[in-house]
Amino acid sequence: MTEKSYNQRRACTLAGIDPRVYRRRSTRPADTELRERLKELSSERRRFGYRRLHLLLGREGWKVNWMKLYRIYRKEGRTVPKRGGRKRAPGTRAPMAIP
């Protein structure tokens, strides 16, 4: 809008979005304290996913919906590391000798 000096309606039409979407301000709280505590817990306990972290936070007194916690967990880029696969023998095996 500033570069081409388009009005808001024209710019939104070109971008393919509704002007109400552009004007809308988020009313969602920042939850900075919750984010910090979630980072601390997930770095301490790397094998715990968001479900077990939800239980730990509940024990500490945090009343938070698990879907909200999942959203924050994913936004922070947290994941449980994948486990290793099945170990296979290297190379080809020789057939058993017949007695």
What's the structural domain count of the chain? 2
Q: Which domain holds residue 70?
A: 31-78
Q: How far apart are CA 49 and CA 30, in angstroms?
A: 22
pLDDT-based confidence at residue 92 (cuts at 50, 70, 90): confident
Whether 96 maps to a domain, the answer reads: no
Closest CA to 41 of 7, 80, 14, 71: 80
Q: Where are the alpha helices (DSSP H) in the chain?
A: 8-15, 19-23, 32-44, 50-60, 66-75
Whether 73 maps to a domain, the answer reads: yes
Report if pTM > 0.85.
no
Q: How far apart are CA 42 and CA 48, in angstroms?
A: 7
Of 55 and 92, the structure prediction assigns the larger pLDDT to: 55
Whether 64 maps to a domain, the answer reads: yes
Whether 54 maps to a domain, the answer reads: yes
Whether 92 maps to a domain, the answer reads: no
Claim to verify: residue 35 and residue 59 sit in the same structural domain:
yes
